[in-house]
Amino acid sequence: MKRKKRQVKLRTKINGLILLNLLFVLLLVTVSLSFIMVHREYDEAGQNALTVAKTVAGLPEVIQAFKEPNPSSIIQPIAEDIQEKSGAQFVVVSNMNLIRYSHPDTSLIGKHMVGDDDKQVLLGHGSITRATGTLGLSIRGKYPVFDEQNHQIGVVSVGFLMQNIWKKITSLILKIIGTGIIALIAGLIGAFILSGHIKKQILNLEPHEIAFLSQQQAAILESIREGIVAIDTNGKIMTFNREAKSLLEKETGDLKGKAITSVLPNSRLTEVIKEGASHYDQPMIIGNSLVVVNRIPVKIDGKVIGAVASFRDKLHLDQLDQRLADIGQYVDTLRSQRHEFMNKLHLISGLIQMKEYDLVKDLIEEVHVEQQNVLNFFLAKVRDPAIVGVLIGKMHRAKELGIQLAITDDSSVSEICPHRETVLTILGNAIENSMEAITKTTNDRDAVISVHIKENLDLLSLQVSDNGPGVDPELGDHIFDDGGTTKGEGRGFGLALVTRLVSRLNGKMVMNSSSEGATLQVRLPVRGDKNDSSRIASSSG
């Protein structure tokens, strides 16, 4: 089995990289400084040797000694004294035949100089050379000795041994290396602190773990059915998913980096950042969609660094709610019908026992005619099964509430109703609003809701009327705004959504209200010019 390759930790990588950088820099600096110091020491040693040689060559005592029978007796003490004071390893004075008059080793006095580096000085020029003499390899400064008539009479050679120069250079290099080691240790301590700080900033995660989490987050964001938008403290969009962009129909291109106020002005995410409080299950309209929003601040160490909003089209949620409601409503309808038919069966049973067969026949005929009339009406007039389903469901619900829901005789809809989804939304909202308004009033008159829906060649008209208390006059035109209601927080989005749907289809909507009831009229174009759209505000009388 192949062994899995072990991942190198980020902290180890950071420390190792900094260590290599420090070693490279220190090596480069040490080599450069060493190279510079070697050349400098060589140059200084050569110049010092030449300066001492020039000084010795210019001493009157030395020049005068050349005329004596034994020049060495005068020159040797002078050379030894200057050698000691200058730090040179030798001060050698010779005649033009390179016979020594002085030398650190007195046994070599009177012997020929060695090194083969006297060509320039014998021509009367000072020189700096490197050569191996009796004391070893050295840097030499040579200068000619002239008499009073400016005739060259001898040579002065002053030297510094290379081994002594290298001792000095080595001492300096060791100091540089010592300083470098201290800098390396300090750098490693700094690297350890820096890597620890970086690890803390990224929650002690490794790069491959961060990459995995990033890919996982992207996959999660794209897989969920909710729209996700995240912003930073400046209100700039940092993250979003495909579902969020699909809800923002007008937005094209990359949303990242854009201001949330320009993309979604009513998001209220900036409020979440300022207040640091979460908002859950809040209704909001985005474009032509009613959504349910959760807004949550993002915090690190108690400090708000951004905010995230998740929203889902309420239509999807309503579809789930509607399915559950339909099941419950179906059960309730069956129960109420069961009670109703049980009562009629008991009546029929009693009439049979009383042998009132004519009354039994009339009762059965009445039930049959009632059901057949409803069925015939929908088969003949309203043939769209979705519209029929909504109306029958609302009729049963209204009957339970003691409200008469009537469909006008002149209503007519084809098998496929134009703008079916919009019509279903309008009917559902309008009828529910009417039933809710009627149930909250203490009116002695019979509660009635009338629905008119008629499809022509170019126009689809809907009208829902009730004899309830009407719209609160304080709302006025605001009844069509987001949250425009007196029912409480989180309500008042139904008519706002209907208004946007009607406007999108270039239709017209009118709300008439008085103390005698309210009427909602909607007209939607089926075909033709759709460039002229308007909404007529509510009126009260």
DSSP class of 415: S
pLDDT 10s digits, 140-179: 999 999 988 889 999 999 999 888 888 888 888 888 888 8
Enumerate the domain spans of the chain: 12-168, 226-313, 381-540
12-168 CATH fold: Beta-Lactamase (3.30.450)
* 306 pLDDT higher than 80: yes
| Percent over 90 (pLDDT), the chain | 9
**pLDDT bucket at 528, cuts 50 / 70 / 90:** very low
**SS3 at position 258:** coil
pLDDT at residue 216, as a whole number: 81
CA 258 – CA 235 distance, rounded (Å)? 8
Q: Which amino acid is at 96?
A: M
Least confident of 84-93, 345-354, 473-482: 473-482
Burial class (CB in 10 A: 0-12, 13-18, 19+), 173: middle
381-540 has CATH 3.20.10.10 classification: no
User: Residue 473: pLDDT above 70?
Assistant: no
Residue 156, pLDDT score = 93
Share of the chain above pLDDT 70, in %: 82
The answer to whether domain 12-168 and domain 226-313 are alike in fold is yes
CB-CB neighbours of 253 under 10 Å: 7
Predicted local distance difference test score (pLDDT) of residue 536: 34
- The predicted pLDDT at position 348 comes to 75
Question: CB-side exposure of 168: number of CA atoms within 13 Å?
Answer: 13
* Lowest pLDDT segment from 94-103, 246-255, 282-291, 404-413: 246-255
Q: Which architecture does CATH list for 226-313?
A: 2-Layer Sandwich (3.30)
Which residue has better confidence, 319 or 254?
254
Question: Could you tell me the pTM of the whole model?
Answer: 0.43
CA 485 to chain centre: 39
**pLDDT at 181 exceeding the cut of 80:** yes
**Would you say residue 94 has pLDDT above 80?**
yes
What is each CA distance from 162 to 12, 113, 129, 137, 417, in whole angstroms? Answer: 45, 19, 12, 6, 109
Q: Is 455 helix (H, G, I), strand (E, B) or coil?
A: strand
Span 72-88, average pLDDT: 90
Q: What is the pLDDT of residues 340-361, one digit of tens each?
A: 667 777 777 787 888 777 787 7
Does 541 score more than 60 pLDDT?
no
Separation of alpha carbons 38 and 289, rounded Å: 82
Give the range among 212-221, 399-408, 502-511 with minimum mean pLDDT. Answer: 212-221
What amino acid occupies position 123?
L
